[in-house]
């Protein structure tokens, strides 16, 4: 007989959690606050300025530094996976306070990263965002 765990946490990154609105992305780049934790740069806005879901995120990699699309897509996939696994502490904090937030992650490194590096730096950036937003 198989037993199911009492509490199951689903780590998902659905369509509603992704930042897709061109209008909101433009506003984010125009008015958002920014900071870096090499090789990631983060632009974010909080409170009611961010429309849509409680927490939305977008990801990009420079085509100038990574010419091949397969390399850019791999880095974005690594960033999304690291974010998906670590977003819950920030999401819980935002839901408790009733705030919303939009984030945009930009990979600024010049070399292809490995998964542990991206996971570590994503954790650092999400912790810094949580501290900055109170």
Q: Which helix (H) or strand (E) holds 9?
A: none
At which residue do the structure tokens 């570590």 appear? Answer: 120
pLDDT computed for residue 51 by the predictor:
60
Q: Does residue 4 or residue 36 have the better pLDDT? A: 36
Where are the chain's structural domains? 15-133
Both tokens assigned to 87: 């977003």
Quickly tell me which residue has 């806005």 as its tokens: 45
Residues 23/67, Cβ–Cβ less than 8 Å: no
pLDDT beyond 80 at 85: yes
Does 109 score more than 90 pLDDT?
yes
User: What is the average per-residue pLDDT within 75-94?
Assistant: 92
Q: What is the pLDDT of residue 50?
A: 54
**CATH code linked to domain 15-133:** 3.30.230.10
51: CB partners within 8 A, 6+ apart = 21, 24, 100, 102
- Whole-structure pTM value: 0.87
% of the chain exceeding 70 in pLDDT: 87
């Amino acid at each position: 007989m198989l037993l199911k765990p009492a509490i199951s946490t689903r780590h998902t990154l659905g369509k509603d959690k992704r930042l897709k609105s061109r209008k909101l992305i433009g506003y984010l780049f125009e008015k958002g606050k920014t900071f870096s934790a090499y090789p990631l740069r983060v632009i974010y806005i909080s409170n009611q300025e961010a429309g849509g879901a409680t927490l939305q995120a977008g990801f990009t990699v420079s085509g100038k530094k990574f010419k091949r699309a397969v390399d850019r897509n791999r880095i974005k996939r690594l960033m999304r996976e690291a974010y998906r696994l670590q977003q819950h502490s920030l999401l819980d904090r935002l839901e408790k306070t009733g705030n919303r937030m939009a984030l945009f992650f930009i990979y600024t490194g010049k070399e292809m990263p490995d998964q542990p590096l991206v996971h570590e730096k994503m954790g650092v950036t999400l912790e810094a965002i949580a501290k900055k937003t109170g």
